[in-house]
């Protein structure tokens, strides 16, 4: 369960940003999560509801956007989006020399606030 420290990190970023901009309340938080992370949306929202109590972000709704990973075949340069479990062969040439990039990001993309 690594969602707890991750959620604490999100809340810190959001509250710092809100304070710096003299925001009264944060209503929505938009997050980007890579497809290859094992982060569970519901767990993040669960921890967030507990941690954000009595803060500027109390009651804020979390929105999740999944960012796919990209696989590139080193043999034929074919590229495609992958989701776990990753099939380790190129769908175009069946080559197994495949490189996967992206899909591991996790960050706060934007927040909506009440001024």
Residues near Zn ion (CB under 5 A) are: 73, 75-76, 78, 90, 92-93, 95
* Nearest alpha-carbon partner for 111 in 54, 70, 52, 68: 52
Of the pair 40, 92, the CB lying nearest Zn ion is at 92
- Return d(Cα 24, Cα 37) in angstroms, integer: 32
Backbone angles phi, psi at 87, to 5 degrees: -80, 120
**CB 104 to Zn ion: min, Å:** 23
Of the pair 53, 94, the CB lying nearest Zn ion is at 94
Of the pair 40, 76, the CB lying nearest Zn ion is at 76
- In the structure, how many helices (H) and strands (E) does the chain have? 2, 6
**CB 35 to Zn ion: min, Å:** 21
**CB 72 to Zn ion: min, Å:** 9
- b/e per residue, 9-18, with b = 16+ CB within 10 A? ebbeebbebb
Of the pair 5, 88, the CB lying nearest Zn ion is at 88
**CB 67 to Zn ion: min, Å:** 23
């Amino acid at each position: 369960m690594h969602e707890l420290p991750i959620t604490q990190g999100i809340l810190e970023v959001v509250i710092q940003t809100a304070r710096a901009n003299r925001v009264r309340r944060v209503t929505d938080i938009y997050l980007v999560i890579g497809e290859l992370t094992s982060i569970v949306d519901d767990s993040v929202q669960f921890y967030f509801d507990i941690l954000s109590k009595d803060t500027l972000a109390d009651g804020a709704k979390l929105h999740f956007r999944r960012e796919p990973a990209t696989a590139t075949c080193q043999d034929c340069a074919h590229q495609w989006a992958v989701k776990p479990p990753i099939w380790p062969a190129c769908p175009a040439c069946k080559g197994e020399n495949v490189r996967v990039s992206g899909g591991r990001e996790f960050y706060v993309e934007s927040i909506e606030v009440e001024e």
